[in-house]
């Protein structure tokens, strides 16, 4: 009798065998290409003996820098890049093996490449710079089986501390008075340990303060520190002064005289200031044929007869660089020939290509799980009305199919219903026109914002045609008037005071009509209707600081519709709206609701390439007045490649509602599984594998709910279990986990995520945890879900 091994056991055996082989190969081959008489630099350790040090400073991190070269990259004790190098090693300088060896592999780091003597000296100097004037550094090398490990041992005692800081300055000179005025903000604090890097930063800080007071030619090199350590008891007196040979130009403040703006400058042009027009004290060269001066000067913060400041210079450069009409901006200063303490400013602006036409084929990947080929043709004019206004006209077309695997449930996945599960296809055609003004266009006079980012006014007009094959067609018209501004790097406001949208359902099929007839709630959400309101969004993000260990992102959106129109109806005495007799606009119902959602993210950067990314989304929509349900396009949904990846898009919710209990066409669930409330949480660990291949481990959880139950014509609850109950919602969370592979080539990320269901909310209580019944593969109940997408999920 031939023994039968289950698929699960077979998988376990294969996995263990694979891991065993990888470990054996990695261990045996790591020294394969190490020359005789040498050893692989396998690792190192730095020990700091600082029992007498009360500063509590972490020195190991600082001393790690001088160790060069670093050992080969390691993951869980394995060195995959070194293994690839050895496995595909060849002396040939071409061919596939050579390409894999050099591009994906990494040659062994040899002990002979590590100069311990020089590293010891650098470590001693770094300790001296930290105030440890009495220190020692030693290294010990251990070699075993051609693998070398080095241990550095450093001994330090109590560091020298700053006793006092003095400014040896001549008060008769204005620059000395200006330096002394900054002493209250000094980085050098009595009692703190001596640190050369802090003294260097102090020079930069003083230079920055002086640049804001007109000292254009001053530089940190004009300052010198003297340190006196003879006070005893490990104390140091710090003396600051200006170098005696500092140039006279650096010691006086400058004001601005003539300001020239070359608005149509190209490299190599012969410059002349004779053909100019004077506008509000500026010399505009040569004329206004390209960009009108009144619009350009909104981005110029240099003023004649004002004191030079670096902030005004940088603000001018950044604002002008933000204008679409220009691709290069350069600001230079020269001594005024008629005065020895004035500067002439020259602003050189190089135009960008005014008009462009672009066509591209692309792979469409949406948050709702649809993916497929698409094409986009766009026209762009970067200077439409000679005010750097940018006009974009974009034509799009796409053919899409919902991907991402099956809905995880207990039904027989070999049945006829499952064959429809991935058959939801659609095609989409659209045109969107956007005109962006690099300024705030308002009927009220508003001051020019002092921000390095150009404030914008955006006008949009568009049409979109969507055809969900075999179900319905939808026409959507939109018009918007919006403002966008960033008062600082981390904060962005986007306000759309006018947001108009008309949604029209057309050409429905009998199958879809039957679904709407059975579900009055869904039918009302699909009605032809106007969305007339405003959208307000505030976004805070510290991701602009790429070197930060902790990064935060938070975006809050408030979406309002129908309130102003409804107020006008009430003001003129119109009858109150009723469910069967709503108020209309041009013969069509208009929506009235308030929708608010918040997207919070936290990123913990571990090392250079690893990261823990977390996200929490909460949203709620309230229909009222002229609406009893939220418009379909404004309802919340969950699942899919950018959401809970163990479940197909819109295949769960609301709550514990089970759509499949009464339906045979699984695709119809896509339209019916939406809600008024959404909660979602994600955590993902991202790590490098080799080259541009990245990996991820993730856990997702969430669901959508209804604010209130809705009923059929017979009085039955339309979606049992769909209403949000505070005491019960945690039991109705869909939970999934999984792993991912990403191909990250900087400008493009192709993502493959394999979702594994953990908790299925629409199953009966007590049966929702399905992890123990997980089946490896993509078919059958409780199997994996494959998500293919472009870009990271969050």
Task: Render pLDDT for 374-398 as a digit per residue (tens, 0 to 9).
Answer: 788 999 999 999 999 999 999 998 8
pLDDT above 50 for 411: no
Is the separation of the CB atoms in 714 and 686 below 8 Å?
no
DSSP-assigned states of every residue in 398-465: EEEEE-S-PPPSSS-TTSHHHHTTT--EEEEEEEEEEEEESS---SS--PPP--SSPPEEEEEEEEEE
pLDDT above 60 for 289: yes
Q: Note the pLDDT of residue 375.
A: 87
Same fold, 32-72+108-156 and 161-251: yes
Lowest-pLDDT choice from 18-27, 346-355, 522-531, 760-769 = 18-27
Q: What's the average model confidence in pLDDT over 104-108? A: 89
How buried is 663 (Cβ within 10 angstroms: 0-12 exposed, 13-18 middle, 19+ buried)? middle
Q: Note the pLDDT of residue 220.
A: 95
3-class DSSP assignment, residue 38: coil
CATH number at 32-72+108-156: 3.10.20.310
How far, in Å, CA of 531 to CA of 593, rounded? 9
- Quickly name the fold that domain 161-251 has: Ubiquitin-like (UB roll) (3.10.20)
How far, in Å, CA of 540 to CA of 547, rounded? 17
For the packed helices 80-87 and 7-29, what is the interaxial angle rounded to 10 degrees?
Answer: 80
pLDDT above 90 for 667: no
Give the right CATH number for 255-351 from 3.30.1330.20, 3.40.1410.10, 3.10.20.310, 3.40.50.300: 3.10.20.310
Q: Could you tell me how many helices (H) and strands (E) the chain has, helices first?
A: 14, 29
pLDDT above 50 for 718: yes
Higher pLDDT, 339 or 333: 333
Q: Note the pLDDT of residue 550.
A: 95
pLDDT above 80 for 684: yes
Q: Note the pLDDT of residue 786.
A: 87
Residues in a beta bridge with 402: 370
Q: How many CA atoms lie within 13 A of 89 on its CB side?
A: 15
Q: What's the average model confidence in pLDDT over 546-551? A: 91
Task: Render pLDDT for 164-215 as a digit per residue (tens, 0 to 9).
Answer: 998 877 767 889 889 989 989 999 999 999 999 999 999 999 999 999 999 9
Query: Which runs of E-coded beta strand occur in 653-729?
Result: 677-690, 693-705
DSSP character for 631?
-
Is the separation of the CB atoms in 702 and 455 below 8 Å?
no
Q: Note the pLDDT of residue 12.
A: 44
Is the separation of the CB atoms in 79 and 30 below 8 Å?
yes
Query: Beta strands 529-541 and 588-590: pairing type?
Result: parallel
Binned at pLDDT 50, 70 and 90, residue 28 comes out as: very low
Query: Beta strands 456-468 and 550-561: pairing type?
Result: unpaired
3-class DSSP assignment, residue 441: coil
197 membership: H or E segment, kind and range: helix 196-211
Domain ranges in the chain are 32-72+108-156, 161-251, 255-351, 356-790
pLDDT above 50 for 15: no
Distances (CA, A) of 750 to 175, 180, 546, 694, 790: 57, 56, 22, 10, 5
DSSP character for 73?
P
Laid out side by side, the sheet with 135-144 consists of 40-49, 147-156, 135-144
Give the whole-number percent of the chain exceeding pLDDT 90: 54
pLDDT above 60 for 2: no
pLDDT above 70 for 6: no
Q: What's the average model confidence in pLDDT over 559-574? A: 91
pLDDT above 90 for 17: no
Please identify which residue in the block is written with the tokens 């090398």.
141
Q: What's the average model confidence in pLDDT over 737-761? A: 90
pLDDT above 60 for 298: yes
Binned at pLDDT 50, 70 and 90, residue 405 comes out as: very low
Q: Note the pLDDT of residue 260.
A: 93
Lowest-pLDDT choice from 166-170, 183-187, 341-345, 721-725 = 166-170
Please identify which residue in the block is written with the tokens 């082989």.
21
Buried b (16+ CB within 10 A) or exposed e, 759-775: bbbbbeeeebebeeebb
How far, in Å, CA of 556 to CA of 561, rounded? 17
Write down the pTM of the prediction.
0.80
Three-state DSSP string of 468-501: ECCCEEEEEEEEEEEEEEEEECCEEEEEEEEEEE
Q: What's the average model confidence in pLDDT over 472-498? A: 94
Give the right CATH number for 356-790 from 1.10.260.40, 2.40.160.50, 1.10.530.10, 3.40.1280.10: 2.40.160.50
Please identify which residue in the block is written with the tokens 């541009």.
692
């Amino acid at each position: 009798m031939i023994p039968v091994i289950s698929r699960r056991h077979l998988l376990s055996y294969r996995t263990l065998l694979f891991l065993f082989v990888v470990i054996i190969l990695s261990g045996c081959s790591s020294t394969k290409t190490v020359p005789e008489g040498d050893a692989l630099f396998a690792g190192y350790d730095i020990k700091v003996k600082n029992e007498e040090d009360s500063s509590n400073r972490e020195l190991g991190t600082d001393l790690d820098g001088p160790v060069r070269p670093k050992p080969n990259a390691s993951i869980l004790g394995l060195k995959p890049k070194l293994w690839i190098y050895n496995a595909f090693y060849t002396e040939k300088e071409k061919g596939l093996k050579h390409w894999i060896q050099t591009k994906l592999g990494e040659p062994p780091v040899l002990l002979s490449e590590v100069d311990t003597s020089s590293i010891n000296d650098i470590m001693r100097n770094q300790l001296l710079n930290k105030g440890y004037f009495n220190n020692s550094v030693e290294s010990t090398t251990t070699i075993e089986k051609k693998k070398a490990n080095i241990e550095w041992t450093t001994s330090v005692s109590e560091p020298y501390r700053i006793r006092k800081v003095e400014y040896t300055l001549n008060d008769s000179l204005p620059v000395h008075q200006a330096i002394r005025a900054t002493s209250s903000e000094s980085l050098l604090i009595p009692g703190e340990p001596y640190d050369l890097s802090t003294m260097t930063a102090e020079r930069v800080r003083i230079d920055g303060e002086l640049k804001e007071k007109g000292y254009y030619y001053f530089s940190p090199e004009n300052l010198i520190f003297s340190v006196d350590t003879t006070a005893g008891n490990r104390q140091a007196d710090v003396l600051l002064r200006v170098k005696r040979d500092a140039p006279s130009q650096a010691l006086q403040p400058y004001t601005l005289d003539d300001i020239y703006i070359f608005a149509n400058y190209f490299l190599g042009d012969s410059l002349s200031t004779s053909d100019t027009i004077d506008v509000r004290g500026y010399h505009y060269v040569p004329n206004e044929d390209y960009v009108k001066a009144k619009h350009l000067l909104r981005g110029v913060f240099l003023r004649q007869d004002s004191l030079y400041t670096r902030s005004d210079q940088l603000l001018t450069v950044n604002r002008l660089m933000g204008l679409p009409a220009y691709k290069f901006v350069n600001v230079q200063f020269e001594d005024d020939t008629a005065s020895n303490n004035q500067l002439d400013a020259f602003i050189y602006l190089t135009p960008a290509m005014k008009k462009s036409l672009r066509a591209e084929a692309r792979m469409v990947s949406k948050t709702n799980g649809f993916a497929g080929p698409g094409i986009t043709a766009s026209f762009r004019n970067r200077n439409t009305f000679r005010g750097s206004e940018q006009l974009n006209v974009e034509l799009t077309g796409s053919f899409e199919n919902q991907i991402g695997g099956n809905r995880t449930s207990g039904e027989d996945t070999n049945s006829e219903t499952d064959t429809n599960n991935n058959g939801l296809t659609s095609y989409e055609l659209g045109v969107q026109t956007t005109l962006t003004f690099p300024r705030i266009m308002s009927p009220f006079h508003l001051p020019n914002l002092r921000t390095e980012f150009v404030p914008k006014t955006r006008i949009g007009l568009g049409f979109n045609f969507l055809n969900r094959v075999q179900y319905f067609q939808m026409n959507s018209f939109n018009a918007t008037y919006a403002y966008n501004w960033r008062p600082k790097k981390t904060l962005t406001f986007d306000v759309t005071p006018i947001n108009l949208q008309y949604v029209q359902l057309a050409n429905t099929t009998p199958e879809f009509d039957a679904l709407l007839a059975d579900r009055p709630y869904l039918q009302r959400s699909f009605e032809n209707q106007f969305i007339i309101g405003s959208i307000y969004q505030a976004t805070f993000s510290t991701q602009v600081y790429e070197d930060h260990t902790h990064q935060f992102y938070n975006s809050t959106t408030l979406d309002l519709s129908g309130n102003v129109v409804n107020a006008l109806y009430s003001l003129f005495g119109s009858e109150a709206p009723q469910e069967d007799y709503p108020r209309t606009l041009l013969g069509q119902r208009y929506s009235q609701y308030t929708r608010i959602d918040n997207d919070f993210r936290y990123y913990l950067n571990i090392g250079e390439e690893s990261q823990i990314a977390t996200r929490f989304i909460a949203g709620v929509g309230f229909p009222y007045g002229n609406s009893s349900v939220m418009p379909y396009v404004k309802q919340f949904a969950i699942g899919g490649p950018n959401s809970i990846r163990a479940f197909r898009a819109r295949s769960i919710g609301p709550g514990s509602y089970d759509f499949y209990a009464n339906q045979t066409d699984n695709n119809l669930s896509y339209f019916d599984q939406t809600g008024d409330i959404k909660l979602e949480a994600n955590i993902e660990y991202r790590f490098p594998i080799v080259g541009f291949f990245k990996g991820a481990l993730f856990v997702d959880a969430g669901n959508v709910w209804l604010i209130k139950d809705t009923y059929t014509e017979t009085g039955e609850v339309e979606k049992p279990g769909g209403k949000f109950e505070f005491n019960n919602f945690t039991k109705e969370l869909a939970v999934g986990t999984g792993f991912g592979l990403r191909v990250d080539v900087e400008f493009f990320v192709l993502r493959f995520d394999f979702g594994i269901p953990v908790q299925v909310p629409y199953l009966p209580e007590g049966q929702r945890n399905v992890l123990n019944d997980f089946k490896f593969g993509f078919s059958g109940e409780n199997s994996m879900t494959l998500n293919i997408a472009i870009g990271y999920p969050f």
